[in-house]
Amino acid sequence: LARAERAVGILLVGLLLGWLGGGCANLAAPAEAEMYQVSTLQAIVEGVYDGVIPVGELRRHGDFGIGTFHGLDGELVMVDGFLAQVKGDGAVVVPLDTMTTPLACVTWFAPGRTVPVPAGMNLAGFTAWLDGELGNLNLPYAVRVRGDFRRVKTRSVPAQRKPYPRLAEVTATQAVFELAATRGDIVGFRLPGYFGGINLPGYHLHYLNDAHTQGGHLLDVETGDGVVVEIQALRRLSLILPEGGDFATAELSGDKSAELRKAEQ
């Protein structure tokens, strides 16, 4: 696959977010919960869809997360170490470890808090409510919402061929799936605004049902009874960037927030 064509450049940012506000003592603290990110969402907006690392390597950095696959071949969801590929037609398959990812965010999920979620909330209501529960919105969080949902609306995208179109062109033709009375996990991240150059500030969530037959990038939801959200604050970031390929020449300095939100929400 594409991996053989390219050396992978590894930039370990090792950004100790706590250091900024808490003093140097944090540098000596034991391993903080780490968010491990492959490439940047802004590169995906620009159509940089070539895989950067194999998903087998991704598994070494977490058991929980979201992303996509080489050529934008569907949505990646990882829950409890189970890695799913939600294809463009909605089919859920287990990808080979040799498949590569051009964009992913994973962590070893170890939630510090579990909070009951009110029933009957849509995605906008849920995220506003969860912001209030989180309190400190200047840290990134991994969140897992478990239970019964009255309704889940997801999307996925079909694999693209070179020359790759921009993300907005792909999502304009995305397949949307409306799931009713479904039980499963919403997994993803809530990122502070200062992540805006490398990712999407706010919530980015994917869904996988318990039967591992349905899922995708979450567009909307209606929570049912007995839903809980598990929350993990993250204080360390590793960012793995492509060494070359399309990434080398992509225009990544401009503000892509409007195009990004349109494509992801």
Minimum CB distance to Zn ion, residue 177 (Å) = 13
- Report the residue number, 177 or 235, with the smaller CB distance to Zn ion: 177
In the complex, the residues that contact Zn ion under the rule CB under 5 A are: 217
Check if the beta carbon of residue 47 is closer than 8 Å to that of residue 249.
Answer: no
Is 220 or 243 the residue whose CB approaches Zn ion more closely? 220
Residue nearest to Zn ion (CB): 217
Minimum CB–partner distance for residue 116 and Zn ion (Å): 26
Judged by beta carbon, residue 206 or residue 235, the one nearer Zn ion is 206
Q: In the complex, what is the shortest distance from the CB of residue 207 to Zn ion, in angstroms, rounded to a whole number?
A: 10
Pick the closer one to Zn ion by CB: 153 or 235. Answer: 153
Q: Which amino acid is at 65?
A: G
Question: Could you tell me the smallest distance in angstroms from the CB atom of residue 66 to Zn ion?
Answer: 6
Contact 58, 69 (CB under 8 A): no
